[in-house]
Amino acid sequence: MTAAQWIVNLAGLAAITWIVWYFWLYRKDGVQAALVAGAQQVDVIVKGGYTPDVITVRAGTPVRLNFTRRESSLCSETVVFDGIDRSAKLPEGETVAVEFTPERAGEIPFQCQMGMLRGKVVVTE
Amino acid sequence: MRKFWFAAAVSVPTLLLAYPSVRWLYAPNWLGGSVSEPLVWWLFVLSGAITLPVMAYSGRQFFTGAWAALKHHSADMNTLIALGTSAAWVYSTVALLLPRLFPEGMAEPFYDVTAVVIALVVLGQAIEVRAKGQTSQAIRKLIGLQAKTARVLRGGAEMEVPVEDVALGDIVVVRPGEKIPVDGVVVDGRSAVDESIITGESLPVDKGVEDDVVGATVNTTGSFKFRATRVGRDTALAQIVKMVQDAMGSKAPIARLVDVVSSYFVPAVMILSVITFLAWFNFGPSPAIAFAVVTAVTVLIIACPCAVGMAVPMSLVAGVGKGAEHGVLIRNGEALQVASRLTTIVLDKTGTITRGKPELTDVLPAAGRDAKALLRFAAAADRPSEHPLAQAIVAGARDRALEPPEPSAFEAVPGHGVATTVEGHAVHVGNLKLMTRENVDVAPVQEHVARLQEEGKTAMYVAVDGAIAGVVAVADTIKEDSVEAIRVMMDLGLEVVMLTGDNPRTAAAIARQVGIDRVLAEVLPEDKAMEVHKLKAAGGKVGMVGDGINDAPALVEADVGFAIGTGTDVAIEAADVTLMSGSLKGVAYAIEVSKATMRNAKESLFGAFLYNSVGIPIAAGVLYPFFGLLLSPLIAGAAMAASSVTVVMNANRLRFFRARSFSGAPTAAARTQEVTT
């Protein structure tokens, strides 16, 4: 094997390792919701994903997530909270509030309808 | 579309340049029939340069989307397109500017891939947006039912205001032919209202003072005033729209499997692309690097995560919308999926199969007596009574244009009947106990009574001046389309079970008339849920159809609860499927729509999985060693664009779905489009 081949093959393996780590293994930090007018509120920007995409809240207090979609991509036009049977259309540029009260500790995932963009609400006691 | 046309315009010259066999087009014979090497090089440079604005303008959303996703540690379709097209562009540019980096003859640029793939995917997306709009047509129709303006009384004067400005407590004036703008209670006037939009009931309903009216229904010939009790997003129509929207946005359980696939899909394709590159680079024929780049780019471009991700949601949106068109509100994707797999359907008798209120069915005079006179006496005797059976006889007489006279004496005998005096005659109406007490010989009508009881009807003896005059019978009657709806359910392969608190004889009589074999009679309201539970335990997927509050536990216990013809909030809360009309046909329709939707979703899903699992290996070049076949990245781009369009088109087919349970015209939502305010 020539030196060029070695370099190309090693670069390929490095690329695979990076993909596995960056997309699958990387763990993200959560954002703690702030209390605003009796509800735990977080503003979520929708653009290629949800920012923030991990939100920590307390059980028993209402949660208000203000979604603002800043892209025209069809993927993100609906946000679905699967476990609690809620969904919302997110017209581009508008802020849409999704409100619910988590009853117990656990995780409430949310995502676009096709499951490409993902986030979760981590509920603590 | 401008983005597409720009990309398409650039694609043409880049394509022409990429294929030496068509160079005669721009190098005609009089120029010597060939193009010099330096000119070709400059033409490639030019084509690389004009491809840049294609990426920056037509394909901008792929690159910004991919970058935004990357920042979130995620990857989507944008990532694949951005990577594929930019890899092609970068390789071509390096090959052009630094050909010495590559072995002799391997530095072949292909800018056409970048331009053509972007053009095709942009075109595919434009078609997809248009097709998607058609899929969610039902919700737009529903929203379109809302009246635009309302006539309200303010400061003593009538004024027309936008419907959004109607406040709670406003007095709204409705003229003949107008649409009712919001929900309320009639305070003055009288009219018949066509409520078919909300209830599916085709006959207009009479409305007078204190009756409820519902927004979006249509007034017929009278005029009236009502007080607004629910406005804005609280109206029945707004609630329905919200429910349908929520259902469209929900997930069917089948989609959860897809989610798992989706979350790994794009990175997995990227890894496959790298592996493909390395395989061709190490083991491919010469020029290995060119093969490696082309196949790696083709893998990125052909993979279509959208087709997989969209399959179930698109069918769900179309299916839920199709349901709403016929007044069938399916709560969510899970209800729809389970409804498609039901094996048993339990029908509550009273109010579901039957109308739920007793009606006069038979007037059978004794020999020598007149039927009209018999009914007139019976109705007169029952006039003061509040008993539902007595009321049914009075209503039955009035329906037959007989106005019963006022009795001069009236005594209700609990558990027996009534003893009265009508126009100087002693009239007794009641059961056998009453006749025995009055020493009336019932033998002349006993044959009638036996037959009526056999038919599940309640027979009442009528004696005039101590002699039997005949019998009248009252029964809960079957809704006119119950028989047909039950037949459709059976045709769909469902076992139909009737559940009732009535005695077995009455239950069996009704069951026989509608063609049901399996009857669970004398079931107390509190035991209904238990019966449903038993059917589930026996291995069936059980749907329960009920109409009211006392059915709520059974509706919840069932795999799918259908609330029929009410709009009462309790039933809607408890139900997975709400039928706005009182017709059982809605149940059959809901099941038919569910089956069609799930079949459609599975077709799309299967197609999308098949496409990717066949397309990606072919793009990687697995056929090359055997047949020398290699997929062009251009064809991959076209296939990718076509695959997601196909999924949306397939979901759109559901719009033309015709159910056996509604062989007639579509209802309300579609029809009332023509009604203007």
Q: Verify whether the Cβ–Cβ distance A71 to B66 is below 8 Å.
A: no
pLDDT given for residue B25 in this prediction: 59
B530's tokens:
């238990």
Look up tokens 């359910």; give the residue: B489
pLDDT given for residue B280 in this prediction: 94
pLDDT given for residue B657 in this prediction: 87
Distance of residue B129 Cα from the nearest chain A Cα, in angstroms? 8
B561 close to B338: Cβ distance less than 8 angstroms: no
Tell me whether residue B625 is exposed, middle or buried, using C-beta atoms within 10 angstroms of its C-beta: 0 to 12, 13 to 18, 19 or more: exposed
Lowest-confidence pick of B256-260, B556-560, B646-650: B256-260
B404 close to B383: Cβ distance less than 8 angstroms: yes
pLDDT given for residue B549 in this prediction: 64
Burial annotation B202-212 (CB, 10 A radius, 16+ → b, else e): eebbebeeebe
pLDDT given for residue B641 in this prediction: 87
Considering only CA atoms, which of B540, B530, B478, B477 is closest in space to residue B499? B530
For chain B, the straight-line distance linking the first and the last C-alpha, in angstroms and rounded, comes to: 36
Task: Say if A68 is an interface residue toward chain B (CB within 8 Å).
Answer: no
pLDDT given for residue B675 in this prediction: 33
- What's the average model confidence in pLDDT over B232-251? 83
Task: Say if A22 is an interface residue toward chain B (CB within 8 Å).
Answer: yes
Size of chain B in residues? 677
Report the SS3 class of residue B477.
strand
- Check whether B369 has a pLDDT greater than 50: yes
Distance of residue B178 Cα from the nearest chain A Cα, in angstroms? 32
Q: How many CB atoms lie within 10 A of CB A83?
A: 15
Q: Verify whether the Cβ–Cβ distance A115 to B259 is below 8 Å.
A: yes
For chain A, the straight-line distance linking the first and the last C-alpha, in angstroms and rounded, comes to: 59
Checking DSSP bridges between strand B223-230 and strand B183-194, what pairing results, if any?
antiparallel
Lowest-confidence pick of B355-359, B484-488, B633-637: B355-359
B89 close to B111: Cβ distance less than 8 angstroms: yes
- What's the average model confidence in pLDDT over B85-89? 91
Establish, for the pair of chains A and B, how many residue pairs have beta carbons separated by less than 8 Å: 119
B103's tokens:
């072995």
pLDDT confidence bin for B6, thresholds 50/70/90: very high
- What's the average model confidence in pLDDT over B7-17? 86
- Check whether B658 has a pLDDT greater than 60: yes
The kind and range of the H/E element at B563 are strand B560-564
**What backbone phi and psi angles, to 5 degrees, belong to A28?**
-95, 155
Task: Say if A2 is an interface residue toward chain B (CB within 8 Å).
Answer: no
**pLDDT by residue (tens digit) across B162-180?**
999 999 999 999 999 899 9
A31, A55, A79, A113, best to mutate vs chain B, most B CBs in 10 Å: A113
Residues of B tagged active-site? 348
A48's tokens:
């290629």
pLDDT confidence bin for B426, thresholds 50/70/90: very high
Chain A hits for B63, Cβ within 8 Å: none
pLDDT confidence bin for B667, thresholds 50/70/90: very low
pLDDT given for residue B514 in this prediction: 93
**pLDDT by residue (tens digit) across A57-103?**
999 999 999 999 988 777 788 898 877 878 888 999 999 999 999 98
Considering only CA atoms, which of B238, B249, B259, B40 is closest in space to residue B142? B238
pLDDT given for residue B533 in this prediction: 94
Q: Verify whether the Cβ–Cβ distance B132 to A74 is below 8 Å.
A: yes
Q: Verify whether the Cβ–Cβ distance A26 to B65 is below 8 Å.
A: no
**From CA B297, how far away is CA B619, in angstroms rounded?**
9
Chain A hits for B64, Cβ within 8 Å: 48, 71
Q: Verify whether the Cβ–Cβ distance A74 to B128 is below 8 Å.
A: yes
Task: Say if A7 is an interface residue toward chain B (CB within 8 Å).
Answer: no
pTM of the model: 0.81
Distance of residue B286 Cα from the nearest chain A Cα, in angstroms? 14
For residue A100, which amino acid is it? Answer: F
Q: Verify whether the Cβ–Cβ distance B313 to A114 is below 8 Å.
A: yes
Nearest CA in chain B to A72: B61
Chain B hits for A83, Cβ within 8 Å: none
Q: What is the crossing angle of helices B111-135 and B633-652, to 10°?
A: 0
B409's tokens:
């004496």
Q: Verify whether the Cβ–Cβ distance A118 to B74 is below 8 Å.
A: yes
Q: What is the crossing angle of helices B504-514 and B482-491, to 10°?
A: 70
Task: Say if A54 is an interface residue toward chain B (CB within 8 Å).
Answer: no
Considering only CA atoms, which of B658, B671, B638, B648 is closest in space to residue B116? B638
- Check whether B34 has a pLDDT greater than 80: no
pLDDT given for residue B33 in this prediction: 54
Q: Verify whether the Cβ–Cβ distance A26 to B69 is below 8 Å.
A: no
DSSP string covering B245-268: HHHHHS--HHHHHHHHHHHHHHHH
Interacting residues of B539 by C-beta distance below 8 A, sequence separation 6+: none
Q: Verify whether the Cβ–Cβ distance A49 to B125 is below 8 Å.
A: no
Distance of residue B310 Cα from the nearest chain A Cα, in angstroms? 6
Report the SS3 class of residue B284.
coil
For residue B334, which amino acid is it? Answer: E
**pLDDT by residue (tens digit) across B296-349?**
999 999 998 888 888 888 899 899 988 888 888 898 888 999 999 999 999 988
pLDDT given for residue B28 in this prediction: 54
Give the one of B69, B71, B129 whose C-beta lies nearest to A74's C-beta. Answer: B129
**From CA A42, how far away is CA B241, in angstroms rounded?**
27
pLDDT confidence bin for B650, thresholds 50/70/90: very high
Q: Verify whether the Cβ–Cβ distance B65 to A9 is below 8 Å.
A: no
The kind and range of the H/E element at B570 are helix B569-574
pLDDT given for residue B35 in this prediction: 64
Look up tokens 């069915």; give the residue: B361
Q: How far is CA B459 from CA B186, B410, B423, B432, in A?
A: 39, 21, 24, 10
Distance of residue A3 Cα from the nearest chain B Cα, in angstroms? 13
Give the one of B73, B76, B306 whose C-beta lies nearest to A22's C-beta. Answer: B73
- Check whether B104 has a pLDDT greater than 80: no
Distance of residue B563 Cα from the nearest chain A Cα, in angstroms? 19
**pLDDT by residue (tens digit) across B527-570?**
889 999 999 999 999 999 987 667 788 888 999 999 886 544 55
Counting residues of chain B whose pLDDT is more than 70, the rounded percentage is: 92
From start to end of B125-217, where are the E strands? 149-154, 157-162, 171-174, 183-194, 205-207, 212-213
Report the SS3 class of residue B514.
helix
The kind and range of the H/E element at B430 are strand B425-430
- What's the average model confidence in pLDDT over B208-222? 89
More confident residue, B658 or B275: B275
- Check whether B671 has a pLDDT greater than 90: no
- What's the average model confidence in pLDDT over B376-381? 93
Q: How many CB atoms lie within 10 A of CB B593?
A: 30
Considering only CA atoms, which of B598, B600, B609 is closest in space to residue B649? B600
pLDDT confidence bin for B209, thresholds 50/70/90: very high
**From CA B177, how far away is CA B170, in angstroms rounded?**
21
pLDDT given for residue B119 in this prediction: 92
Average pLDDT value over all residues in chain B: 86
pLDDT confidence bin for B69, thresholds 50/70/90: confident
